Chain A
Amino acid sequence: MTSSLHLWLIPLIPFAGFLVNGLLGRKLPKALVSTIALVAAAVPFAQVVYTWFQLGGIPLPYVEHIGTWIQTGAFNAGIDFQLDHLTMVMLLVVTGVGFLIHVYSVGYMAHEEGYWRFFAYLNLFMFFMLVLVLAENFLLMFVGWEGVGLASYLLIGFYYLKNSAANAGKKAFVVNRIGDFGFLLAMFLMVFHFGTLSFSGVFSQVAQHPAWQGGFLSAIAIFLVLGATGKSAQIPLYVWLPDAMEGPTPVSALIHAATMVTAGVYMIARAHIIFDRSPLALTIVAIIGVATAFFAATIGVLQTDIKRVLAYSTISQLGYMFIACGVASYASGIFHLVTHAFFKALLFLAAGSVIHAIGGEQDMRVMGGLRRKLPVTFWTMTAAVFAISGWPPFAGFFSKDEILYQAFLSPNGGKALWAIGLITAFITAFYMFRLWYMTFFGENRGEDRQLEEHGAPVHARSDSTLVLEAEPDDHGHGEGIHESPWIMLIPLIILGILSVIGGWIGIPSAMGGHNAIAHFLDPLFGTPPAMVGALEGSNTLALTLAGVSFAVVILGWLCAHILYFAKPELPAKFAAKLHGLYTLVLNKYWVDEVYGAVFVAPLLAVSSYLLKGLVDTGIIGGATYGSAYLTSGIGAIAQRLQSGNIRSYAGWLALGAAAVLIAVYFGFGVHFH
């Protein structure tokens, strides 16, 4: 190799930050804690940027062998880091956005106790996330994979004194574990079939055997998908993400919007060689993606908690990325991943800024009219809203459009995907503008609060001590609603800019751009199979599709404008009319309840009644004590012989004597003469 990049430093520095803050943070002053944390987040970013400029001189993929992790006679796995184009993109996103959010948090969490804990966890997350993207083998990737899960568990449960938070954390971890279960099985299969888990090893073997189609590759791919659905909150395992909003808002921005939840997409892209061999798996991915995109979007329409709306939109956007992977157009998936990281992080941060401003309130019904009070937040948020709902030339437009376009082109059932994607786009535009209007327009409904209107977090307020730690509102009511400090606004602005221009890296040739990111990733993915037939002459098609989707977006905006700005009384009417549908969606299709009833409750019931009650206490315990009592019962009989009466003793003696005599005489054993 030419020059060592010391990739290992990239994850290690955040880990160092975690150790320092985690062990000593309790004692250190806040300033120092935040400095450490920021440095630990900044340095990797700097290094990544530096590496970016080195790229020219290095043959990719570039691999660094740090050491052996597991070695047995049959199998071994190393601690190897690898850098290639995909990793590069991910690194930039993770470290970049990560750093910004660190900065933001310094302001947002300023008044929290356990400040040090928060930053320690944040650094820990960075560490695992970076391991995840840098790993050169599935096992190491799995380290990051579970590690980010752990970090998110810790951060969601940051306000551990709130039951809801603790529950959400646990739920997130366990649901993710279900995904990891798939990942593990996939790895077992790989070990079984390839004898190794390193990317190079596995992929080269697959490449060498063109005969391998579907079969066990499908099995591996499908198990991987199960893992991905867990991490990326797709059907059927998306349920943890909305609850995860219990965590502090920066966490939601970093982990549950920008980075961690995209790990699933990254993993599928990473393993695309396997997926390419398994149409079945790809179809499954596509279906999951589109279903999730649509389904989550519909739920988003009726949510009133600002963060939950964003959560469902995240799920829905991730669905888009899955669609992209499903149609084997990984590049567009990654592209959307990047843009989404920008605007979704921004949305969350802005929402956080709003919440922060009005003192921990998350219920949109009690917001409104904040436009003037929070100008910066408003404008940045606006940029993000336009980006996500896909107005040109905002970032979201290009990436989402690319995905829809690829879907449309893809041979198997692409049209359907495209259609549903389009509808989703409409809904997305609708609920995002709904959020936008409800938050910033109209007059502030914050004064006339009746408790019954309030959502769950408001209930939490009833216990004042909780809220003091729960949300930073000790000054919220003090001097009324106010703009957040600059340290929070700067990241907003930067991300705002990015969500405007971020999409330009992928302007399709049809619109006179030259899809830079796609080309950048080409060496990894090659040209998406769908594109092959469609490259030339399809400019018109591309443009028409773009036009259609834009029209749909505008439609969505119009509806939102009418319902939530022009005629605010209408929604209630609709709700009354379509009552059934309304309640169904309002209760998120009762999925949580169904899961609870179908999986959790039976498990607990079986465990406690059948296993514990019947088997453990009944059979096993019974057998133990039963035999004990039996023996001592026989013992009682043996004692009965001891009547204490000489004559009866003599009787036994006589009988015994007779028995022995007869036994010996007629008895067993050898006969004589």
Chain B
Amino acid sequence: MHLILFFIFGGFCVAGALNLLFQRHPINSALSLIVVMTSLAVLYLLLGAEFLAAAQVIVYSGAIMVLFVFVIMLLNAGREERTHGSKAAYAVGIPGAAALLGALVYIFLSNGSTAKVSDYIVNTHELSRVLFRDLLLPFEVTSILILVAILGAVALARKEH
């Protein structure tokens, strides 16, 4: 059961990602990214992280992607044209990416930790305990982060006078 679900949604993820890669229109790419994220949420569920699954759907697919789509609309970005800006990107980058993938996969396989994922559910209570006790400071600090983000968005988006 678990296995099947993993394959289905894992497949969805990859398919979405590839679609993002091959779609020429940003909107389509955005939508396919949403697909990836939502199916990731399912995988989270499989891994027993309901809270994260929820957050994934709400924050990512909800907020962030909406923001993307909004901007795409705002700047009404059309189909991207295949300009030839850089040979290096292909000549160097793609092999690099491939090598990266290869290396990682090799490592994960030869890692040997075939620890099966037991079905163990994190209850949100414990989650919050850790979050608001051990990780209190980082949590508070993120507020600065967000503040900075807002500031920046305002400062940048503001028109010159």
Residue A668 interfacial (CB < 8 Å): no
A658–B91 CA distance with the chains assembled, in angstroms: 14
From B88, which residue of chain A is reached at the shortest CB distance? A648
Contact B96 A654 (CB under 8 A): yes
Contact A650 B93 (CB under 8 A): yes
Q: Which of B92, B94, B95, B104 has the most CB of A within 10 A?
A: B92
Residue A60 interfacial (CB < 8 Å): no
Contact A657 B86 (CB under 8 A): no
Residues of B with C-beta under 8 A to A656? 96
Residues of A with C-beta under 8 A to B88? 641, 643, 645, 647-648, 651-652
**Whole-angstrom distance from the CB of B99 to the nearest CB of chain A?**
4
**Whole-angstrom distance from the CB of B86 to the nearest CB of chain A?**
4
**Whole-angstrom distance from the CB of A509 to the nearest CB of chain B?**
111
A643–B107 CA distance with the chains assembled, in angstroms: 33
* Interchain CB contact (< 8 A) of B85 among A641, A647, A658: A647
A651–B87 CA distance with the chains assembled, in angstroms: 9
**Whole-angstrom distance from the CB of B81 to the nearest CB of chain A?**
14
Residues of B with C-beta under 8 A to A645? 85-86, 88-89
- With A662-B99, A665-B107: A654-B85 Cβ-Cβ less than 8 Å: no
- With A662-B103, A665-B103, A665-B107: A651-B85 Cβ-Cβ less than 8 Å: no
Residue A655 interfacial (CB < 8 Å): yes
Residue B97 interfacial (CB < 8 Å): yes
Residue A661 interfacial (CB < 8 Å): yes
Contact B89 A661 (CB under 8 A): no
**Whole-angstrom distance from the CB of A72 to the nearest CB of chain B?**
69
Contact A654 B92 (CB under 8 A): yes
Contact B89 A655 (CB under 8 A): no
Residues of B with C-beta under 8 A to A647? 85-86, 88-89, 93
A641–B87 CA distance with the chains assembled, in angstroms: 11
Contact A658 B87 (CB under 8 A): no
From A666, which residue of chain B is reached at the shortest CB distance? B103
From B95, which residue of chain A is reached at the shortest CB distance? A655
Contact B97 A654 (CB under 8 A): yes
Contact A652 B85 (CB under 8 A): no
Residues of B with C-beta under 8 A to A665? 103, 107
Contact B89 A651 (CB under 8 A): yes
Contact B86 A643 (CB under 8 A): yes
Residues of A with C-beta under 8 A to B93? 647-648, 650-652, 654-655
Residue B64 interfacial (CB < 8 Å): no
- With A661-B103, A665-B107: A655-B96 Cβ-Cβ less than 8 Å: yes
**Whole-angstrom distance from the CB of B94 to the nearest CB of chain A?**
8
A645–B84 CA distance with the chains assembled, in angstroms: 10
Residues of A with C-beta under 8 A to B94? 651
Q: Which of A653, A654, A657 has the most CB of B within 10 A?
A: A654
Residue B14 interfacial (CB < 8 Å): no
Residues of A with C-beta under 8 A to B97? 654, 658
In which size bucket is the chain B interface?
A: 10 to 19
Residue B100 interfacial (CB < 8 Å): yes
In which size bucket is the chain A interface?
A: 10 to 19
Contact A648 B103 (CB under 8 A): no
Residues of B with C-beta under 8 A to A659? 96, 99
A655–B97 CA distance with the chains assembled, in angstroms: 7
Residues of A with C-beta under 8 A to B95? 655, 658
**Whole-angstrom distance from the CB of B114 to the nearest CB of chain A?**
17
A658–B93 CA distance with the chains assembled, in angstroms: 10
The dominant DSSP class at the B interface is helix
Interface residues of A in 614-673 (CB under 8 A from B): 641, 643, 645, 647-648, 650-659, 661-662, 665
Residues of A with C-beta under 8 A to B91? 651
Contact A651 B86 (CB under 8 A): yes
**Whole-angstrom distance from the CB of A466 to the nearest CB of chain B?**
78
A616–B161 CA distance with the chains assembled, in angstroms: 64
A657–B97 CA distance with the chains assembled, in angstroms: 9
A665–B95 CA distance with the chains assembled, in angstroms: 18
A541–B96 CA distance with the chains assembled, in angstroms: 113
A657–B104 CA distance with the chains assembled, in angstroms: 11
A510–B87 CA distance with the chains assembled, in angstroms: 114
From A641, which residue of chain B is reached at the shortest CB distance? B88
Q: Which of B85, B93, B95, B97 has the most CB of A within 10 A?
A: B93
Residues of A with C-beta under 8 A to B86? 643, 645, 647-648, 651
A131–B101 CA distance with the chains assembled, in angstroms: 95
Contact A648 B107 (CB under 8 A): no
From B106, which residue of chain A is reached at the shortest CB distance? A665
A655–B85 CA distance with the chains assembled, in angstroms: 18
**Whole-angstrom distance from the CB of B78 to the nearest CB of chain A?**
19
A641–B86 CA distance with the chains assembled, in angstroms: 11
- With A661-B103, A665-B107: A648-B96 Cβ-Cβ less than 8 Å: no
**Whole-angstrom distance from the CB of B127 to the nearest CB of chain A?**
32
**Whole-angstrom distance from the CB of B126 to the nearest CB of chain A?**
35
**Whole-angstrom distance from the CB of B111 to the nearest CB of chain A?**
11
Contact B107 A654 (CB under 8 A): no
A36–B103 CA distance with the chains assembled, in angstroms: 103
A652–B99 CA distance with the chains assembled, in angstroms: 13
Residues of A with C-beta under 8 A to B100? 654, 657-658, 661
**Whole-angstrom distance from the CB of B101 to the nearest CB of chain A?**
9
Residues of A with C-beta under 8 A to B107? 665
Residues of B with C-beta under 8 A to A657? 96, 100
**Whole-angstrom distance from the CB of B2 to the nearest CB of chain A?**
31
A641–B91 CA distance with the chains assembled, in angstroms: 13
A662–B107 CA distance with the chains assembled, in angstroms: 10
Q: Which of B88, B95, B107 has the most CB of A within 10 A?
A: B88
A647–B96 CA distance with the chains assembled, in angstroms: 13
Residues of B with C-beta under 8 A to A658? 95-97, 99-100, 103
**Whole-angstrom distance from the CB of B100 to the nearest CB of chain A?**
5
From A662, which residue of chain B is reached at the shortest CB distance? B103
**Whole-angstrom distance from the CB of A145 to the nearest CB of chain B?**
78
A656–B103 CA distance with the chains assembled, in angstroms: 13
* Interchain CB contact (< 8 A) of A651 among B92, B103, B104: B92
**Whole-angstrom distance from the CB of B95 to the nearest CB of chain A?**
7
- With A645-B86, A645-B89: A651-B99 Cβ-Cβ less than 8 Å: no
A650–B89 CA distance with the chains assembled, in angstroms: 7
**Whole-angstrom distance from the CB of A645 to the nearest CB of chain B?**
4
A655–B91 CA distance with the chains assembled, in angstroms: 10
**Whole-angstrom distance from the CB of A263 to the nearest CB of chain B?**
83
**Whole-angstrom distance from the CB of A444 to the nearest CB of chain B?**
101
- With A643-B86, A647-B86: A655-B92 Cβ-Cβ less than 8 Å: yes
**Whole-angstrom distance from the CB of B21 to the nearest CB of chain A?**
14
Contact B103 A652 (CB under 8 A): no
Q: Which of A645, A657, A658 has the most CB of B within 10 A?
A: A658
**Whole-angstrom distance from the CB of A351 to the nearest CB of chain B?**
93
Chain B residues close to A by CB (< 8 Å):
85-97, 99-100, 103-104, 107
New A-B pairs, 13, CB < 8 Å, besides A641-B88, A651-B89: A645-B86, A648-B88, A650-B93, A651-B88, A651-B96, A654-B100, A655-B93, A655-B95, A657-B100, A658-B103, A659-B96, A661-B104, A662-B103
Can you list 15 contacts pairing A with B, beta carbon distance less than 8 Å?
Answer: A643-B86, A645-B85, A645-B88, A647-B85, A648-B87, A651-B94, A651-B96, A655-B93, A656-B96, A658-B96, A658-B97, A661-B99, A661-B100, A661-B104, A662-B99
Chain A residues close to B by CB (< 8 Å):
641, 643, 645, 647-648, 650-659, 661-662, 665
In the A-B complex, the 7 residue pairs with the closest CB atoms? A651-B93, A648-B88, A654-B96, A655-B96, A648-B86, A658-B99, A647-B89
